[in-house]
Amino acid sequence: MQTSKAFQEAYGFKLGDDVNICAAGAEVTTVESVILRDITPKLGTSDIPALDDENRAGWEWYLKEESLCRAEVIFAGMTFKNVTLTGPKRTFVIDFINAVLPELQLVNIAGIDQALKKLNDFLGNFHDVFPFPRQQKSCAVLLHGGHGYGKTFLIDQIISTGWGKVHRVKRDMKPPAIRTLFKDAKVSQPSIIVIDNLENLVSKEDSISESITEVLEEELDALVGGHSNPRTLPQVLVIGATLNANRIPMSLRRLRRFNEDILLPIPDSAARKAILKSLSPPLNPADPVDTLEKLGERTHAYTAEDLQKLLNKAYEIAMIARRGKSEAEAPESLYLEQDHIEQALLLVRPTAMHDITLQPPSVKWDEIGGQENVKEALRQAVETPLLHPERMARLGGAAKKGILLYGPPGCSKTLSAQAMATEVGFNFFAVKGAELLNMYVGESERSVREIFARARAASPSIIFFDEVDAIGGKRASGGRNNGVNVLTTLLNEMDGIETLKGVMVLAATNQPQALDAALLRPGRFDQLIYVAPPDLAGREAILRVKQRKMDMADDVDIPLLAQLTEGYSGAEVVSICQTAIDKVLKKCDQTGLELQLQMDDFKEAVTTVKKQITPEMVQ
């Protein structure tokens, strides 16, 4: 392989060196301006003075006409030796080339206005000359955000500008290969280095990850530190992407490295509407004009990718529905109908609700008999602050962070939390305290942190801790180190370095006296709602709800049955109904007849089901 002497000298190649030559992958661009530096005095010829202002203009013209214009290709570091004009021969090196490059800016990306502006401000640095001599800039930017938030999409959009050759750092690359990649990127400027899933390369506690971290630190430093013009950036853009910026070592977050980071947030209602409009689904013209507006309001916690999946599922449903029709029945134009979207919503869950989250059973308030005071208290505490925050702000109030439901077992605490989430349409994260303590040491705390992180991402949302006393017991009880650590984590999350905006924490316990006092301080579980055993009207309401789905004979006296169940919890009243059903089913099997539930069946069930609530529980 033959190369020009100028090329060899610029990049330090010597005869016998092993050199990897590869195609640049991009067209040679037109030059707009070139900065050359006279290095003659630095070559040891001390008797030759530096260029003065009087001769500078003549040298500029001569270098342009006789040196630059005669070269087919020029590159940073290229040297013109022993150039003669007047006086002694001089040597010049090309410090910087301002090529006519495609504009490195992104436009028309819906739903991420603030992040897009910050990214474009950073990309603009590659076209600027920095006015401040001590200003330190970096070639690297870190994109971070959850699954489906748009990191890969943004990287693809940058690549599609055609600004430079793309070099991808792959997961299985070893440190020497990464060094070679950076070297190739510098040679083939302008270029783009992409490091997707950066945390997979550098977050492990092993020698390979540590070596890769050191290589990235050195190469990022060298990009800026080794650039010949301190007022400009080398034309090498480095893009890192990660799910969690906290997993990137701080040594990689310093100046000249991934100092610039851009968080891609989960889309809010306005962003979701903008994303849906940009996707331009073919809606039926007969449908309301605000169909997408309403869909954007309903899709809490959906990312841009989730919304694309939702529409794709709706397209699939529409196609399947069309297949079942004859040519005469099938419409000429295929539209997305409201029903297609409704079906898709049942099938496509937001990414933030996967894995550790649990959707509640669909429970309506009218399915819970009695407890009217509890229902009203929850509506006031949850619906108003989260559904009407502007009203709360106008009055100078603040939403409560936590609500504790306490009372004897079986009195609808868990059902009330589920109904609250169902009625307001919030995402629901259900956790049993005892299950958290069954994990390995450290896993419980990590799970609590992850639940809160996901709830923030999926807001408006409700986190429900059932049996919270299992993790929130008094720390003085001793012997429960894991429980103490989990409690501390829970307190830290509720106090919040990160705000709990749009997140309500509900908890339930049968033993409020066992809770650590720290949980009940203002800013934590600062509203306590007592869920008492149902009174006479409450028990009758529970029986009326059950009656809707039961085949009862005319002799069943609901008010009398409510009196007979004095002192029973709501769950026990339901158990009485189920016991009566079991008895009648047994009679049906024995007689071969389809029998109804009789009053005597319920009376017998009352004697079978024992009361579990003791006087101490209701004190």
Non-local (6+) Cβ contacts of 327 within 8 A are: none
pLDDT tens, position by position, 273-299: 888 988 888 888 877 778 888 888 888
Q: CA-CA distance, 494 to 507, in Å (whole number)?
A: 13
**What are 261's two structure tokens?**
């980071």
What CATH homologous superfamily does 365-530 map to?
P-loop containing nucleotide triphosphate hydrolases (3.40.50.300)
pLDDT tens, position by position, 530-586: 888 888 988 898 899 888 889 999 999 999 999 999 989 888 999 999 999 999 999
190 cis-preceded (ω within 30 degrees of 0): yes
Query: Is the whole model's pTM more than 0.85, yes or no?
Result: no
**What are 551's two structure tokens?**
């085949």
What CATH homologous superfamily does 113-263 map to?
P-loop containing nucleotide triphosphate hydrolases (3.40.50.300)
Q: CA-CA distance, 244 to 449, in Å (whole number)?
A: 13
Q: CA-CA distance, 378 to 384, in Å (whole number)?
A: 10
Residues in the chain: 619
Which helix H or strand E contains 305, and what residues bound it? helix 304-323
Q: CA-CA distance, 241 to 125, in Å (whole number)?
A: 19
pLDDT of residue 145: 85
pLDDT of residue 169: 92
Non-local (6+) Cβ contacts of 181 within 8 A are: 167, 169, 173, 193
Q: What is the DSSP string of 76-131?
A: TT-EEEEE-SSSS-EEEEEEEEEE----------TT-HHHHHHHHHHHGGGG---S
Contact at 8 Å (CB) between 574 and 542? yes
pLDDT of residue 371: 80
Reduced to 3 states (helix: H, G, I; strand: E, B; else coil), residue 239 is strand
pLDDT of residue 357: 43
pLDDT of residue 440: 54
Q: CA-CA distance, 400 to 422, in Å (whole number)?
A: 19
pLDDT of residue 438: 58
**What are 69's two structure tokens?**
């214009």
pLDDT of residue 558: 92
**What are 121's two structure tokens?**
């401000």
Just give the CATH number of 271-347.
Answer: 1.10.8.60
Q: Is 175 exposed, middle or buried (0-12, 13-18, 19+ CB in 10 A)?
A: middle
Non-local (6+) Cβ contacts of 129 within 8 A are: 231, 232
Q: One fold for both 113-263 and 536-618?
A: no
Q: What is the DSSP string of 540-608?
A: HHHHHHHHTTS-B-TT--HHHHHHHTTT--HHHHHHHHHHHHHHHHHHHHHH---PPBPHHHHHHHHHH
Q: CA-CA distance, 155 to 238, in Å (whole number)?
A: 11
pLDDT of residue 355: 44
Q: CA-CA distance, 471 to 482, in Å (whole number)?
A: 9
Given a cut of 70, the residues of the chain with pLDDT beneath it are 1-13, 19-32, 42-46, 98-102, 204-206, 209, 228, 324-333, 352-362, 386, 435-443, 475-484, 496-500, 617-619
Non-local (6+) Cβ contacts of 269 within 8 A are: 296, 297
pLDDT of residue 575: 92
pLDDT tens, position by position, 426-481: 777 888 777 666 555 566 777 788 788 777 777 778 888 888 888 777 765 444 45
Non-local (6+) Cβ contacts of 577 within 8 A are: 543, 546, 550, 602, 605
Domain ranges of the chain: 5-99, 113-263, 271-347, 365-530, 536-618
Q: What is the DSSP string of 171-238?
A: TT--HHHHHHHHHHHHHT-SEEEEETTHHHHHSSSSHHHHHHHHHHHHHHHHHHHT-S-TTS--SEEE
pLDDT of residue 192: 92
What is the identity of the amino acid at 23?
A
DSSP bridge partners of 132: none
Q: CA-CA distance, 260 to 240, in Å (whole number)?
A: 10
Assigned CATH class of 536-618: mainly alpha
